Chain A
């Protein structure tokens, strides 16, 4: 089957790629573009390790086809910091030791950023429910939730 030509903007850069019609956006990001910060934990939309935003909407990139991304704007973990300046969420994750193995961290950061853009002052419960689609097996979530709440506080100024 012939490949599809896709034009996107990823983390602010114009990127074009060819993909098989059945290839997922996650596979394109990783295998073709080598943006490996987006992780595959399940491939079925259950773990959130592949979280990205697509036209501002938080999605599991394993559930999106590469071909669906035509003319869209994509943000991944690689676009979260600004040069050498970390996003406040990234800094708070370090300060609070909110990661152990770190493999779920990119997805959780992307998801948390998306939350704070919609709701700059979430309650603990709101953070927990928003992140319920992002599995972490190491931390028990405690330090993650604290880091998100602390980052929100700092970002509100």
Chain B
């Protein structure tokens, strides 16, 4: 794209305003239909039987008694899937339903469809599974040892160095410069080991779907997902179907944050529907969501950083060990590339190992892999500043990555907004506000890559001159509003003339999942291009009516006008007038655009957190929180703020309370919202968002993804705040009250 295509210098009329979202009234009146809200005639209810063992060979499954129960219409096990494909079952399928082994507590082993939920639940009790219990491992460091139980064989990539168990599946190393020399030049070196526990995405809507499959190989699937095209691809592969025969319609989605980018229950519902000959609805319980859908990786990390007395970072090194459950994942390489991205370093090296354990397969969660690594790095940077008595914000500005910096992951940065973001934090009253006793202020930078990907948009000009935009990305946080805004802006019409809908898989070409902070960027870009195509056609229609050359017409403020004095004297033709004559001038008018959008541009954020620690209980209260983030261009500022606030609070939860707790028996101890405690309203202050707008040259309006970066800084911001409030350096998350209290007591005892 030539830079001339970009219009981010111009004055916007619709972009930057805060119109009501098109799906708003449905959502405040309870009409919006989410995954579990669809009911169809003759529908069955399905339930899943799950393994109580973290690691066990499945000797046999006897379903005969369950099948005899009155009202049971189908029972399936992994055997029912073997007829769909001769290939080795994919990891995705084996994660949906255990084949030879149950690989984690809660792994699906069989499923039932019946006339009611009550009958289906009763039938599960009649299924008899014979297990041979195998030794298990849930801790990342244990799983790497050569004597560890092997979770899942055959996954070790050629790049893994020797000396580890077969659970280590891949290895990555990034960096540049002479580390030894760098550390030799340091006046102070801090080296620490950090741990983070797995956190769940915690969307309030459990996974749900409704499948109807017929013996001729056709199927309709309704489900809550971040990407129905991906659901189609994965399910079609598993069910041995052609993509065209599987129509997937996305419901409204009740949160995802990365956790609904893959499938868990959809093939089960499809197979039950095929076997029973009826539509089958399958809704997970919250317990199932915790046990069998993706949390994040848990991590164990060593970070070593050297600094001079005047605050120059001389070298940085990080070793990251991430476990992502029973199947391989690609998370540690993202962490290893992100860890030091905020810094301009002469010597930096990161190494990362991906590891298998008997836990559910990790799923993406906002900036997957980055929060853990950056938490460790930013905590050490803060400790160095504290020990050298340096201002942590000045030191970050001093060492900040900028245009021309050779990034820690390789490429040289072009224009990036980190220093501007840090300076915004420095100027903000929050940074110098006084703190009381037992209070501490923490600061952290965050980074994420963002991306674009495959995107299709069709923009139809209706006969009355209004616009229908059809896109293919489930709207997870108000994107229909921002897409409508971009269409309106480009066409020069008002927002309320545009309605954006999300198409099913058979109504539009392939769209990548709603992930990678890509929707406002990539769907927005395709919408603008589709609008430009429609404008070109409308100018052509005006030229036909006027009898002048097509090139002699241009578009301005929602109307076609003669391009200049030589084109002739004609009154502007509005979009309404052109649309009304579209049948007579050549037929309906539409624009469309299909693209693999590149050029998303990386993103930085800076968070400031004030906390107060109750020294009697170890409980931490966040008392002030400010988020600074570069949005490129905020299309609908309210939803940009929402992403910044929501991501920050998810990170606060991860830092303070959220964790997967496994017992020695390998079972998840806290599979519910009572014991897995996400932040509630009374835990929090207002979260102040400060949006910076440094245009991304890769988007016509300068848009940069904003969805993911906001979860990256809170882990270290909170850790640094608690560490400064207590004068104890913490290195394990979450900072739950018992953990903080025991450190406070130990400190008191040790004097």
Contact = CB atoms under 8 A, between A and B. Distances in A.
Nearest to A35: B30
A93 B684 contact: no
B118 A39 contact: no
Given A86-B25, A94-B21, A100-B477, A140 B646 contact: yes
Contacts of B36: 30, 36, 39-40
A78 to B, nearest CB: 5
A137 B205 CA distance: 10
Contacts of B650: 137, 140
B687 interface: yes
A42 B206 CA distance: 8
Interface in A47-61: 47, 49
A82 to B, nearest CB: 11
B206 A97 contact: no
B645 interface: yes
B104 to A, nearest CB: 21
A97 B21 contact: yes
Nearest to A103: B254
B681 A138 contact: no
B523 to A, nearest CB: 17
Contacts of B39: 31, 34
B30 A101 contact: no
Interface stretch (B311-319, B352-360, B369-377, B672-680): B672-680
Nearest to B643: A100
Contacts of A137: 201-204, 255, 257, 646, 650, 678
Highest count of chain B CB atoms <10 Å: which of A49, A76, A103, A105? A103
Contacts of B205: 39, 41, 101, 103
Given A37-B30, A86-B25, A133 B680 contact: yes
Contacts of A123: none
Contacts of B255: 100-101, 103, 137-138
A72 interface: no
Tell me which of A34, A44, A101 has the highest count of chain B C-beta atoms within 10 A of its own C-beta. Answer: A101
A102 B252 contact: yes
A121 interface: no
B283 to A, nearest CB: 8
Nearest to A90: B28
A138 B648 CA distance: 10
A142 B645 contact: yes
A7 interface: no
Contacts of B202: 137
A102 B641 CA distance: 16
Contacts of A100: 255, 476-478, 639, 642, 646
Interface in B8-33: 18, 20-21, 23-25, 27-33
B24 A36 contact: no
A71 interface: no
B118 A20 contact: yes
Given A20-B118, A140-B646, A140-B649, A38 B684 contact: no
Contact of B681 (A20, A41, A49, A134): A134
A75 to B, nearest CB: 12
Q: Is the interface of B mostly helix, strand, loop or mixed?
A: loop
B204 A37 contact: no
Contacts of A78: 29-30
Given A101-B476, A137-B646, A140-B648, A44 B674 contact: yes
A143 interface: yes
Contact of B638 (A86, A129, A143): A143
Nearest to B38: A36
A94 B24 contact: yes
B716 interface: no
B413 to A, nearest CB: 30
B286 interface: yes
A143 B27 contact: no
B286 A43 contact: yes
B133 interface: no
A125 B24 CA distance: 27
A142 B686 contact: yes
Nearest to B23: A102
A39 B254 CA distance: 10
A94 B205 CA distance: 20
B29 A80 contact: yes
Interface string B183-203: 000000000000000000111
B678 A135 contact: yes
Given A46-B673, A47-B204, A97-B639, A39 B681 contact: no
B675 to A, nearest CB: 9
B30 A77 contact: yes
Contacts of B686: 142, 145-146
Contacts of A66: none
Interface string B203-241: 111100000000000000000000000000000000000
Contacts of B679: 140-141
A138 B650 CA distance: 8
A23 interface: yes
A109 interface: yes
Nearest to B644: A140
A77 B28 CA distance: 8
B37 interface: yes
Contact of A42 (B33, B638, B673): B673
Given A22-B118, A27-B117, A133-B680, A49 B204 contact: yes
B34 interface: yes
B290 to A, nearest CB: 10
Nearest to A127: B681
Contact of A86 (B29, B204, B254): B29
Contact of B646 (A80, A129, A133, A139): A139
Most chain-A Cβ atoms within 10 A of its Cβ — which of B31, B32, B204, B686? B204
Residue from B23, B31, B286, B680 whose CB has the most chain A CB atoms within 10 Å: B680
Contacts of B438: none
A35 B30 CA distance: 8
B28 A36 contact: no
Contacts of B253: 101
B585 interface: no
B204 A39 contact: yes
A144 interface: yes
A144 B681 contact: yes
Given A49-B204, A140-B648, A145-B686, A99 B27 contact: yes
Nearest to B290: A42
B642 A128 contact: no
A43 to B, nearest CB: 6
A86 B253 CA distance: 23
Given A42-B286, A97-B641, A143-B641, 6 more contacts: A37-B30, A80-B30, A90-B25, A90-B28, A100-B477, A134-B680
Give the top 5 A-B pairs by smallest Cβ distance, nearest first. Answer: A37-B30, A103-B254, A140-B649, A102-B27, A97-B638
21 contacts: A35-B30, A36-B30, A37-B31, A40-B206, A41-B286, A44-B286, A44-B674, A97-B18, A97-B21, A103-B203, A127-B681, A131-B680, A131-B681, A131-B682, A132-B683, A134-B680, A135-B680, A137-B204, A138-B477, A140-B642, A143-B638
